[in-house]
Structure 1
């Protein structure tokens, strides 16, 4: 497990990070979200040793992180960092070799990974000749080719079409399944919500919410309820204590106190046409808006 504890960073008078603490569990995908300037990239760079924290610690499996540990990390920066004149396969093999892989093993793993990322037909092309989306895939391959023990990615889904997003999701999920802690940032909240096991929300350099995705959904659960019936659900409007938000034939979305909610359920059961009665699904976007405002 990778653990950040009380990371603090100042740039002059500006407090960029204010006692930032959260774990990145082994074998788990942790989504790291926040607005521009919230502190995501600064946090990642401190974990990687690119920046020094003014205070706080980063540990791996309960011990202080070392330079040797970081050499086994995989990192994808938001800014593209590949050599534009090198061919895609040549560069990916080169990066694996830098991590100690044999020529044959590096070529084999690089080829397999690039093919899986949809670059099988572009192995001999230079990086600069690729589209921006394919450059992003190549950058992801560069971070993963040496099978890192910890994986940190800054905006890995930027510039990818929906099919490419699905492909990258699968590759990252496999990396986590091998036991690596995976921390990734993204502005695409729907992608984060779909992919992550754990979620960290940062704003103004402070952690506003952190924990397992489903636990956060429960913690910030909506006070709204959905009723679906085979008949007309218009009667919900007449239940005391209920405020209907949206209504469409047999479906109603409403706000209600606990007593009013129970009254709606009892009436729906009495009528015998109930299909579904659930709390409104709380999205990551809703949680984000709740904790950063």
Structure 2
């Protein structure tokens, strides 16, 4: 594995009879944005806490740059928890300087880095305010600055975009892309799957403590069932119901998305659409990450 790659290998964790993680394995490569997605309770936060050493794994190993992660390595990780881990009554600048020094920076280095990130994240006018007096969005920016202030070699972020307005999302996205461009492996969890799809080089989907898919969105959709998007302005909802080998995904009448079973005839779908009137679009459609995720979650429960 290449240097500066974060590896999670066969990590397991149980709480009594509950299996939180079951041999979870994936890697985040140098310079890569990796999206870690799953339903609430799927195991994302537990995995991240094990990477940070907050929790101990029952089995498996976490490595960085080919070496087992230890205390010294963890000081080089920038971590952003889902629950804000800031001192609410401490002023923004003072807090960032303090955290940078905890990671080994000198006072001068800590002040320079803190002021840099305060400026880059649009917090210059808030640097002297207590964290508790900031809006939730600005608190989130401070939390990101806290993860970045010590110039980490790895970034592990749990729901970093939660509660941010679109402008703040753009600011945070640019920061993460810049860190990845400098060779830092970046892994973050998010329920905003359209954002994950847009930003990430690869994605890992976890379900009930097990990794069920890993790869680029293109790789994950390569074997997906064929979907067709049909735009027929004169059609009414239900026109595609009952077509052999066709499952209707969405149907407003004028715009319909269907999924074809293996061997189903797309021309038969077109013929049926033309029977309703003019067809202005008939195209194959790649499933989105949201659709892939819904499919993975839908497969979670099987009949007894």
Q: Same fold (TM over 0.5)?
A: yes
Residue equivalent to 1:216: 220
Hey, what's the Cα distance between the residues in 2 that align with 1:275 and 1:147?
Answer: 53
Residue equivalent to 1:189: 193
Q: Does 1:50 find its partner at 2:54? A: yes
Deviation of the 1:227 alpha carbon: 5.2
> In 2, are the aligned partners of 1:39 and 1:204 still within 8 Å (CA)?
yes
Residue equivalent to 1:25: 29
Residue equivalent to 1:162: 166
Cα 1:203–1:124, aligned 2, differ >3 Å: closer, same or farther? Answer: same
Residue equivalent to 2:228: 225
Specify every segment of 5 or more residues in structure 1 that has no aligned partner in the other structure, as ranges. Answer: 267-272
> In 1, are the aligned partners of 2:113 and 2:149 still within 8 Å (CA)?
yes
Which of the residues 141, 150, 156 maps onto 1:152? 156
Hey, what's the Cα distance between the residues in 2 that align with 1:254 and 1:36?
Answer: 29
Residue equivalent to 2:266: 261
Hey, what's the Cα distance between the residues in 1 that align with 2:33 and 2:270?
Answer: 37
Hey, what's the Cα distance between the residues in 2 that align with 1:253 and 1:40?
Answer: 32
Residue equivalent to 2:127: 123
Q: Does 1:287 find its partner at 2:297? A: no
The structure where helix makes up a greater share of residues is 1
Normalising by structure 2, we get a TM-score of 0.82
Q: Does 1:139 find its partner at 2:169? A: no
- Within a 5 Å distance, the mapping from 1:80-119 to structure 2 comes to 80-119=84-123
Hey, what's the Cα distance between the residues in 1 that align with 2:259 and 2:187?
Answer: 36
Q: SS at 2:171's partner residue?
A: helix
Deviation of the 1:265 alpha carbon: 8.6
Q: Does 1:60 find its partner at 2:97? A: no
> In 2, are the aligned partners of 1:247 and 1:253 still within 8 Å (CA)?
no
Q: SS at 2:156's partner residue?
A: strand
Deviation of the 1:105 alpha carbon: 3.2
Q: SS at 2:146's partner residue?
A: helix
Per mean C-alpha deviation after superposition, the further-off stretch among 251-260 and 149-158 is: 251-260
Deviation of the 1:261 alpha carbon: 3.0
- Within a 5 Å distance, the mapping from 1:226-245 to structure 2 comes to 226=229
Q: Does 1:79 find its partner at 2:83? A: yes
Deviation of the 1:3 alpha carbon: 0.8
Hey, what's the Cα distance between the residues in 1 that align with 2:79 and 2:258?
Answer: 45
Deviation of the 1:278 alpha carbon: 3.7
Aligned length: 284
Normalising by structure 1, we get a TM-score of 0.85
Which of the residues 184, 188, 198 maps onto 1:180? 184
Hey, what's the Cα distance between the residues in 2 that align with 1:156 and 1:115?
Answer: 19
Hey, what's the Cα distance between the residues in 2 that align with 1:255 and 1:114?
Answer: 48
> In 2, are the aligned partners of 1:222 and 1:279 still within 8 Å (CA)?
no
Hey, what's the Cα distance between the residues in 1 that align with 2:204 and 2:259?
Answer: 28
Deviation of the 1:99 alpha carbon: 2.4
Deviation of the 1:112 alpha carbon: 2.2
Hey, what's the Cα distance between the residues in 1 that align with 2:222 and 2:7?
Answer: 24
